[in-house]
Amino acid sequence: MKSPGNAGGGHVGNGWFMRRSRRLEQRPANAADMTTEAPGCTARERQVLEAIAEGLACRDIATRLGISEATVRKHRSNMLAKLGLRNAAQLVAHARTRGWLAAFPVQHFREPVGA
């Protein structure tokens, strides 16, 4: 199946995707779009967004915020709907390009089981 912009046919390789992603991340954001707040998002949704950007799983976010996993998923779903996005990766990329998150937040990953 041919992809748009892929004259050779076939699928778009992972290398192309990674190069494209890097270009989008490096693209300077429009100063008018830069803000430290996520417009239309509640304070709790902002907390969930920041935790997602840190790489935390729903279970870990729920534990950190003292809410259920279902509530975390609902907050994420609400933000996706408000912004017209499809997944958490798009959500984080969207937030970063608008200055809602630090460009490279400190990663707080779970410790491996049994560590």
Express each pLDDT in 55-108 by its tens digit.
Answer: 999 999 999 999 999 999 999 999 999 999 999 999 999 998 888 886 554 555
CATH number for 41-103 (one of 2.60.130.10, 3.30.1600.10, 3.30.870.10, 1.10.10.10): it is 1.10.10.10
The pLDDT value recorded for residue 95 is 92
Region 27-43: mean pLDDT is 59
- Share of the chain residues as helix, strand and coil, in percent rounded to the nearest 5: 50, 0, 50
44 or 110, higher pLDDT: 44
- Grade residue 115 by pLDDT with cuts at 50, 70 and 90: low
Domain locations in the chain?
41-103
- Tokens describing residue 89: 């990766």
Cβ contact 37:100 at 8 Å: yes
